[in-house]
Amino acid sequence: MTGGATVPRLVVLVSGNGSNLQAILDAYASGQLAATVVAVFSNRARAYGLERAELAGVPTRVCRLQKGQPRREYDHTLAEGVSHFRPDWVVLAGWMRILTSTFLDRFPDRVVNLHPALPGQFPGVNAIERALDAYRKGEICHTGAMVHLVPDEGVDSGPVLFSERVPIMPNDDLKTLEARVHSVEHRLLVATIKNLCGRGVANERVAI
Ligand code: GRF
């Protein structure tokens, strides 16, 4: 662990609601997770995840893309801000920007992303909606959720840490399927962090 801390330090990046951030905060508060969120960053000033962090007493930072700002310059600024908090792990929990190597190379093998679909399926936005459409066309019988490392700029790809199938029911609509996928994501993300932190060596590539 960096900085000689005994409790692994997490910096969480969010862009919106932050229910996955909440799952991490709750797991820590209830003693189920021995890893603490030391800061929450958002690229959107109005992300509800920021309020969740503030309620939990966690420092927040907003890092907005300036008009015309090059991606790598933005990622450099973001990386500077994040590294200030000396994270053992950087958790992308609903972070809706692709990070370049300018950011990722600062935290090698320490950036973790959550995606609401199985590995290789429906990368990018609206994954749950696209899975429901595919189910209705008879192309898939279930969907899932996964947590993976982010080694490069690939979208929702990278070494898989945990994944789990999520059933789709014939009478599902987007709302019911989203609720089912999200509840699996919350559990999966906490379990993954627990597992990563249990290993104790942040810079070691993991394969679960
Ligand atoms: C999750 O489904 C995550 O997989 C996706 O965005 C959603 C974020 O949800 N990348 P929340 O902001 O944590 O509630």
CA angle 163–33–207, rounded 5-degree value: 35
Tokens of 88: 């053992």
Task: Write down the pLDDT at residue 198.
Answer: 84
Residue for token pair 């070691």: 204
Supply the pTM of this predicted model: 0.92
Task: Write down the pLDDT at residue 208.
Answer: 34
Residue with CA closest to ligand 1 atom 7: 94
Looking at the DSSP bridge assignments, the partners of residue 115 are 146
Tokens of 103: 């950011």
CA atoms within 13 A on the CB side of 125: 5
Report whether 19 contacts 47 (CB < 8 A): no
CB-CB neighbours of 113 under 10 Å: 23
**How many angstroms separate the CA atoms of 8 and 45, rounded?**
27
Per-residue pLDDT in tens (0 to 9) along the chain, 208 residues: 444 458 999 999 999 999 999 999 999 999 999 999 999 999 999 999 999 999 999 999 999 999 999 999 999 999 999 999 999 999 999 999 999 999 999 999 999 999 999 999 999 999 999 999 999 999 999 999 999 999 999 999 999 999 999 999 999 999 999 999 999 999 999 999 999 998 644 433 333 3
Task: Write down the pLDDT at residue 132.
Answer: 98
Ordered by start, the domain boundaries in the chain are: 9-199
With 0-12 / 13-18 / 19 or more C-beta atoms within 10 angstroms meaning exposed / middle / buried, residue 125 is exposed
Report whether 15 contacts 91 (CB < 8 A): no
Residue with CA closest to ligand 1 atom 10: 94
Ligand 1 and 144: CB distance under 6 A? no
9-199 fold: Rossmann fold (3.40.50)
Q: Which of 97, 112, 185 to mutate to test the pocket of ligand 1 (most atoms within 8 A of CB)?
A: 185
Task: Write down the pLDDT at residue 6.
Answer: 80
Task: Write down the pLDDT at residue 202.
Answer: 43
Residue with CA closest to ligand 1 atom 8: 94
CA angle 25–11–2, rounded 5-degree value: 115
Q: Which of 204, 190, 145 is nearest to 34 (CA)?
A: 190
